[in-house]
Amino acid sequence: MITPSIHTTNWTFRVRTCYVGCDASILLEPIRDQQFTELDSAKNFGIRKRDLVGSIKTSLELECPKQVSCSDVIILAARDAVALTGGPLISVPLGRKDSLSTPSKHVADSELPPSTADVDTTLSLFANKGMTIEESVAIMGAHTIGVTHCNNVLSRFDNANATSENMDPRFQTFLRVACPEFSPTSQAAEATFVPNDQTSVIFDTAYYDDAIAGRGNLRIDSEIGADPRTRPFVEAFAADQDRFFNAFSSAFVKLSSYKVLTGNEGVIRSVCDKVD
């Protein structure tokens, strides 16, 4: 059965994959004597339902063997997750190839943003992927669906400057109640979560309303509504869903084209978690 959690998982999965490169490397099991892979990075916590991509791929192989890559399956699943939760149906280029290896945990650690990322870090990250500031603010709007695990929320409060961020004091109280003072690395923190916004199963502009009001789960979610470089776009998207959808679609295509393998650079795996 397709549920809202599957839609949001598809989106999270796809975004995390493309930070390192849109080549389905995150699906691979360790190769030979490799001990720690991309998936082992603590920053990939929350990646679930990899088997769903494998199930889709199995069905495709029965109908059209070795024609659709695992990389394209991830992108199409994420695109549909956005559309099925109320967002735009984005036209994405296809023809990606799959990688022959998976990066190490250390590569993923260096490429993925931390949960404590600020506006400078976020804008730099997306600029390296060819995005404008408007597109960077738009892609952050993906936080309008899904949840934030308490281990990431609690790490925010380790920051001595947390109280000086654009954060509604009442919302800070809510987060501290929802995520009690257990260790950010504890199983309890990893199992507990808060919704990303007021309508966390609908792809809409509520994220930007919350950002303006200082109701962001992560540091970037709060600061994006206050920083003079990003606030104009936050306000514009909050007021105009069509503008948000257009900018998001453009950013989606750019992110899904990052470090893509084509031609002889990669392969089309018949099974997503193994190299043929």
Alpha-carbon span 41 to 223, nearest angstrom: 25
Distance of CA 104 to the CA centre of its chain: 19
CB contact burial 195-232 (16+ within 10 A = b; e otherwise): ebbebbbebbbbbbbbbbbbbbbbbbbbbbbbbeebbe
Q: Is 143 assigned to a binding site?
A: yes
In this structure, how many other beta carbons lie within 10 angstroms of the beta carbon of residue 175? 19
E strand residue ranges, the chain: 147-149, 193-195
- DSSP letters, 61-81, are HHHSTTSS-HHHHHHHHHHHH
Q: Is 144 assigned to a binding site?
A: yes
35: left (phi over 0), alpha (psi -120 to 50) or beta: alpha
Q: Is 109 assigned to a binding site?
A: no
Q: Is 98 assigned to a binding site?
A: no
Q: Is 21 assigned to a binding site?
A: yes
Q: Is 197 assigned to a binding site?
A: yes
Q: Is 104 assigned to a binding site?
A: no
Q: Is 186 assigned to a binding site?
A: no
In this structure, are residues 260 and 71 in contact, taking their beta carbons and an 8 Å threshold?
Answer: yes
Q: Is 149 assigned to a binding site?
A: no
How far lies 10's CA from each of 18, 49, 74, 155, 215, in Å? 12, 8, 8, 25, 25
Q: Residues annotated in the binding site, as ranges? A: 20-21, 23, 25, 38, 113, 143-144, 197, 199, 204
Q: Residues annotated in the binding site for Ca(2+), as ranges? A: 20-21, 23, 25, 38, 144, 197, 199, 204
Q: Residues annotated in the binding site for substrate, as ranges? A: 113
Q: Residues annotated in the binding site for heme b, as ranges? A: 143
